[in-house]
Amino acid sequence: MKRDEEFWSDDGTVILVARDVEFRVYSGVLATHSPVFRELFSNEHPSRTVSINGKDDVPCPVVTLADSPEDLRHILRVYMPRSHASIFAAREPSFAVVSASIRLGKKYKMNSLYEQSLEFLKHFYPSELDR
């Protein structure tokens, strides 16, 4: 396993594992935006002892996901942004970002992300031939 360079927070409250990449993030942020994550985090999971704010041996749940690390990273950038709060406001997203946002937005019931992503895609690929 390797730690994700972008999303490894020393005070994160959950470790998400996607393939061979670990992301240490804040479970509350994801649970706020996703009822699926909220339910997932309420279940028992194996844990690892970590340090948080100078305290050693704090249990941290480890949750394994079936998603690719690349897709998960795109979603985490939306909900835990470093600079911009929307993937659409600051720049034109790549197809990989839009695709991951649609697929994982639907899977994790992140309705706002899912709907924004579909609208963005429909803008460039309208369903009417004249457009």
| 41 is a domain residue | yes
By three-state DSSP, how is residue 72 classified? Answer: helix
Please give the residue that has the higher pLDDT: either 66 or 124.
66
Reported confidence tier of residue 62, pLDDT bands at 50, 70, 90 = very high
Q: At what angle do helices 95-107 and 69-79 cross, to 10 degrees?
A: 80
Q: What is the pLDDT of residues 66-81, one digit of tens each?
A: 999 999 999 999 998 7
Q: What is the pLDDT of residues 63-118, one digit of tens each?
A: 999 999 999 999 999 998 776 555 555 568 889 999 999 999 999 999 999 999 99
Report the pLDDT averaged over residues 1-20. Answer: 95
| 131 is a domain residue | no
| 96 is a domain residue | yes
Range of the domain at 118: 2-124
Percent of the chain predicted with pLDDT > 90: 73
| 35 is a domain residue | yes
| 117 is a domain residue | yes
Tell me what pLDDT residue 74 has.
Answer: 95
What CATH number has the domain bearing residue 35? 3.30.710.10
DSSP string, 7-46: EE-TT-SEEEEETTEEEEE-HHHHHHH-HHHHHHHHS---
| 129 is a domain residue | no
Nearest to 44 by CA among 33, 32, 59: 59
Q: How far is residue 29's CA from residue 80's CA, in Å, rounded to a whole number?
A: 8
User: What total number of domains does the chain contain?
Assistant: 1
